[in-house]
Amino acid sequence: MIKNTDFLKMLIIACIVTAVSAATGFSLYGPVAGSIVLLTGIILCIVFALYTAKRYKDIDDLNTYLSKVLSGNDVPDITDQEEGELSILKTNIYKATTTLKFQKELLANDKKMLADAIADISHQLKTPLTSMMVMNDLLVNEDDEAKREEFIKTQSSQLGRMNWLIQTLLKLSKLDAGTALIKKDEIKSSVLVSDALKAFEIQMELRNIEKNVSGKDITILCDKNWTLEAIQNIIKNCIEHMDEGGRLGIETSETNIYTQIAISDTGCGIDEADLPHIFERFYKGKNASKDSVGIGLALAKTIMTSQHGDILVESNTNGSTFCLRFYKTII
């Protein structure tokens, strides 16, 4: 503090004023008055020096605190119960650094999730790509037309799987980045359900899966194309977990809070331990099919949350029910 030039200047000025005032009092009013003025001035200078020293110590503590924050150390708690501008400044600095630390932790978690996602994507693409490379090598030296046709069919299947995976990942990336255009249109539920089922008519007929659509024709405020994507991913999941002769049910309903499309199946159900994780990306439960990637339900969930909606699921050994809810107000 002694090295602080501003403090030294103020202290010197205070001493000079005290000395001049004491000399004036001594010459005009006598030694008693001069001594009182001198003593008073000395006391005021000491009080000023002590108070200023405390202020400078608090400022130095703040400087040390900020240095620790900048060096990446843990943020110490510097909040106190005192009043005054400096105390408010200390509290606000602590709040700001705590927020920055929280953002840093979020960024670190995002980087870890990105690294895990890249690893999962690489794994999912590597399997069909390896299969295609093997098939391609076999095709070069294969003269049997029947086997060549079989290899080409396998390659076509793997290409289709890769295309679906890449397209789905691109859609997820758009939603995550906030670049996907989400419109709000009034769509009739009958239109959504009918369009969603069209893609599965042949598959359901071949597997003798019965469909049962019920409920009133309600108006849903949503983006038609994105919502169709979500509904179809749910239906696809339900069909994959049903045996031949199963039943797919779709029921629409409405309350004062939300509109809902409930999709149910008579499949094997979802294991209780898997229920909290089925919407996580690349998560595959115990009852997942061997070709499952674990991304369809995650995309459906992301689409719904992007529209301020949600997906709820109930499941037992007799089947599962997915409820797609579109809230009328943002909650």
Summarize pLDDT for 16-30 with one digit per residue, the tens.
877 777 777 777 777
* pLDDT number for residue 84: 62
Q: Are residues 321 and 199 in the same domain?
A: yes
Among 82, 101, 120, identify where a domain stops. Answer: 101
Point out which residues pair with 327 in neighbouring strands. Answer: 258
> CA 316, CA 302: separation in Å to the nearest integer?
24
Q: Are residues 195 and 169 in the same domain?
A: no
What does the angle CA 246 – CA 241 – CA 314 come to, to the nearest 5 degrees? 95
pLDDT at 330: 60
Q: What's the total number of domains in the chain?
A: 3
Q: How far apart (Å, rounded) are the C-alpha atoms in residues 250 and 241?
A: 16
Are both 169 and 251 inside the same structural domain?
no
User: Does one domain contain both 93 and 118?
Assistant: no
Q: Which residues pair with 248 in a beta bridge?
A: 211
Asked if 140 and 271 sit in the same domain, the reply is no
DSSP-based three-state secondary structure for 269: coil
User: What range does the domain containing 170 cover?
Assistant: 108-177
- Identify whether residues 205 and 266 lie together within a single domain: yes
d(CA 239, CA 292): 13
Which pLDDT score is estimated for 320? 92
pLDDT at residue number 104:
80
How many separate helices (H) and strands (E) can be counted in the chain? 8, 7
Q: Rounded to an integer, what distance in angstroms lies between the CA atom of residue 11 and that of residue 19?
A: 12
Task: Give the residues across from 263 on adjacent strands.
Answer: 250, 322
Question: Are residues 168 and 198 located together in one domain of the fold?
Answer: no
Segment holding 187, helix H or strand E: strand 185-188
| Same domain assignment for residues 218 and 284 | yes
Q: How high is the pLDDT of residue 327? A: 92
Please state, in angstroms and rounded to a whole number, the distance separating the CA atoms of residues 168 and 117.
13
- What count of residues does the chain have? 331
Give the pLDDT score at 285.
Answer: 72
Q: Which residues face 262 on adjacent strands?
A: 251, 323
- Of the residues 139, 155, 177, which one is the last residue of a structural domain? 177
CA distance 265 to 268: 9
- 318 and 209 within one domain: yes
CATH of the domain at 197: 3.30.565.10
Q: Which residues of the chain have pLDDT under 50?
A: none
Residues 83 and 165 in one domain: no
> Where do runs of H (alpha helix) occur along 181-287?
189-198, 201-206, 224-240
> In whole angstroms, what is the distance from residue 331 CA to residue 308 CA?
8
Please tell me whether residues 263 and 217 are part of one structural domain: yes
Q: Give the domain-ending residue among 80, 101, 122.
A: 101
User: pTM of the entire structure?
Assistant: 0.62
| CATH number of the domain enclosing 132 | 1.10.287.130
**95/154 same-domain check:** no
Residue 260 and residue 253 in contact, taking contact as beta carbons nearer than 8 Å? yes
